[in-house]
Amino acid sequence: MEDEFENYGMEMPCLCDCGKWFDLNDGVGSYKNTNSIVCQSCGEIEEAEAERNNEIVDLLYSLADAEFTIKEVNERLKELNYDPEKDKDYD
C-alpha cells in the first residue's frame, strides 16, 4: 500500500477527508466544518464553493431589491395615472 508511506517525513501527518495525507502545518481550516483542518487542495475547493455561495446570496438579495423597486415604481406610476400610450413623450 503506497498510501501508507505517503506521510513519510511529515512532522504531524493528518488524513484529509479526501483520503490524502498532509502535514498539519500545510493544512487549512475547513469552511464546511469549522472544527476540522483539510489538505490544501480541499481547502481551495471549499474556498471557491464558499465564494460562489456568498456571491449567489448577494445576487439573490440584489434581485429581491430590484423586484421590490419595480413593484414600487409601477405602483407610483399607477397613482400618477401614467399611461404608456398617452405619455409617450417620457420615453
- CA-CA-CA-CA torsion sign (38, 46, 20, 40): negative
Question: Going residue by residue from 57 to 76, which x/- string records binding to Zn ion, judged by CB under 5 A?
Answer: --------------------
Distances in Å between the Cα of 90 and the Cα atoms of 69, 83, 85, 87 are 19, 10, 11, 6
Nearer to Zn ion, 28 or 77 (CB): 28
Question: Is 16 one of the binding residues for Zn ion (CB under 5 A)?
Answer: yes
Of these, 18, 56, 59, 70, which contacts Zn ion (CB under 5 A)? 18
Question: Is 42 one of the binding residues for Zn ion (CB under 5 A)?
Answer: yes
Q: Where do the H-state alpha helices sit in the chain?
A: 40-79
Report the interface residues with Zn ion, using CB under 5 A. Answer: 16, 18, 20, 39, 42
